Structure 1
């Protein structure tokens, strides 16, 4: 399979949309939208070290913590770097920033790493590690 510049840009755009959807689902407390971004066998480690194995565990955790999580704050994610491991697998480094509803910084930023895979022309989260950044 050859990968043209336009194919690569389409992949980058699609990956950025996944991160934007992740932000949207968190900001709007939409657990099902968030859960739908993960592959069935995905793994996720939260910013505080909770390890979740497969979409069912991710779903159970998300349904417990996401409703109400954004009542006093909001979050933004910025894609900082995308490294294509293969044409259908990418490591994505992002930057998460939490703010109060008035726009003031709230808590420490995070530095998530998302490994994504393309399946059926859709990019999905496969292996994710969210890390709280202290002192930034």
Structure 2
């Protein structure tokens, strides 16, 4: 494993923060901005969506539909650099109300991100969302 600079950790945390903001403000473009062109995501239902444009379409549909009244507070857990240009990061996303106050549900969301650095910029290559009991 490599020993990255603090700036690398912060950039990855900023990416996850942008995705959180996109989710909570229902801004599909912001929610997928940091994905690679061929990036993919697997949702809690097990559906895999590949490519930035299909991801954008799915986010537009989901955020305007079944996810429109859902909110979460994201917390980045462990970040590990597998190589200087490849990292994995865990994200925990307990549910909140629209004002960001925690709400009690019997589950929470956990995600694993695979990030790649290309042209000096970190991007999300893959994300796997999992629903976990609280």
Report if TM-score (shorter chain) is over 0.5.
Answer: yes
Aligned length: 130
With over 3 angstroms needed to count, the CA separation of the structure-2 counterparts of 1:122 and 1:107, relative to structure 1, is: farther
Instruction: Report the equivalent of 1:108.
Output: 107
Contact 1:41–1:53 (CA under 8 A) maintained in structure 2: yes
Please state whether the residue corresponding to 1:57 is helix, strand or coil. helix
Matched, 1:80 2:64: no
Task: Give structure 1 regions of 4+ aligned residues with deviation exceeding 6 angstroms.
Answer: none
The superposition leaves residues 52-106 of structure 1 with CA deviations (integer Å, 9 ceiling, x where unpaired) of 11112211111111125243x4211111100101101100011111123373224
User: TM-score, normalising length from structure 2?
Assistant: 0.88
In structure 2, the gaps of 5 or more residues are none
- Mapped to 2, the partners of 1:17 and 1:46 lie a distance apart of 21
Query: Partners of 2:31 and 2:105 in 1: how far apart?
Result: 22
Structure number having the greater strand percentage: 2
Paired residues of 1:48 and 1:132 also in contact (CA < 8 A) = no
CA RMSD of aligned residues (A): 1.8
CA–CA distance in 1 between the matches of 2:38 and 2:56?
12
Change (3 A) 1:70 1:76: farther
1:96 is matched with which residue?
93
Structure 1 residues 17 and 122, CA gap change in structure 2 (3 angstroms): same
TM-score norm. by structure 1 comes to 0.86
Equivalent positions of 1:111-126 (< 5 A) are 111-126=110-125
Aligned counterpart for 1:63 among listed residues 47, 53, 60:
60
